[in-house]
Amino acid sequence: NAGVTQTPKFRILKIGQSMTLQCTQDMNHNYMYWYRQDPGMGLKLIYYSVGAGITDKGEVPNGYNVSRSTTEDFPLRLELAAPSQTSVYFCASTRSGGAGADTQYFGPGTRLTVL
Amino acid sequence: RKEVEQDPGPFNVPEGATVAFNCTYSNSASQSFFWYRQDCRKEPKLLMSVYSSGNEDGRFTAQLNRASQYISLLIRDSKLSDSATYLCVGSYIGYGQNFVFGPGTRLSVLP
């Protein structure tokens, strides 16, 4: 299993540009999450999904959109990038029940800089 | 008030030392707790779960006190490789399973 994969690893955007951060997991997990982590800070939840076709806002959703058309994929869309969105973005997934359901598996992260 | 709070750190300790981290949580609905380890510029990885009576894994011991809403992590015989940021995490069942991360405590183990 590759686990949780994210692309790209790094990206520099200009203010106002848009991009999609890709996240894929091959563990058949129902729950998927997007977090951002600013320097020296903890993780903040942007959006999450409990299954294909179902998404909901987290703590800091403004400026972002998500979709979940399949169990495996959970892309995060940034529209009109702003310097405040400079951060490291982590995607994570979790089983929805049974043994090990509490464990979150994280992707390697995408480092985004908006200039 | 933040839902999960941790010692701000950084903790700088010599090899072989014992170090303890503290964490408090404010959401009494939190059901499960975890310690994650995050190396510099890397993703968080589960170190250990913390259940009602606490648990031990080698040099690491985690304790949970639900009455005081307090969690601790004890690292004995610190190794250089223990240098990392330690994240305290609570989870509760809401719409799906929700995880709340503390800001982390940075540990540097010095030779």
pLDDT in tens, A11-29: 999 999 999 999 999 999 9
> pLDDT tens, A71-92?
999 999 998 999 999 999 999 9
Between B49, B97, B103, which is nearest A42 by CB? B103
According to the model, what pLDDT value does residue B100 have? 87
Between A42, A103, A109, which is nearest B104 by CB? A42
Please judge whether B43 and A104 are an interchain contact, meaning their C-beta atoms are less than 8 angstroms apart: no
Whether chain A has a CB inside 8 Å of the CB on B44: the answer is yes
> pLDDT tens, A31-69?
999 999 998 788 999 999 999 999 999 989 999 999 999
According to the model, what pLDDT value does residue B23 have? 94
Calpha distance B25→B21 (Å, rounded): 14
Label residue A101 by pLDDT band (50, 70, 90): low
* Helix, strand, coil percentages in chain B from 3-state DSSP, rounded to 5: 5, 60, 40
By CB neighbour count within 10 A (0-12 exposed, 13-18 middle, 19+ buried), where does B80 fall?
A: exposed
Calpha distance B79→B18 (Å, rounded): 10
User: What tokens does A4 get?
Assistant: 């949780």
According to the model, what pLDDT value does residue A102 have? 72
Contacts of A42 in chain B (CB under 8 A): 4, 87, 101-104
Calpha distance B9→B3 (Å, rounded): 18
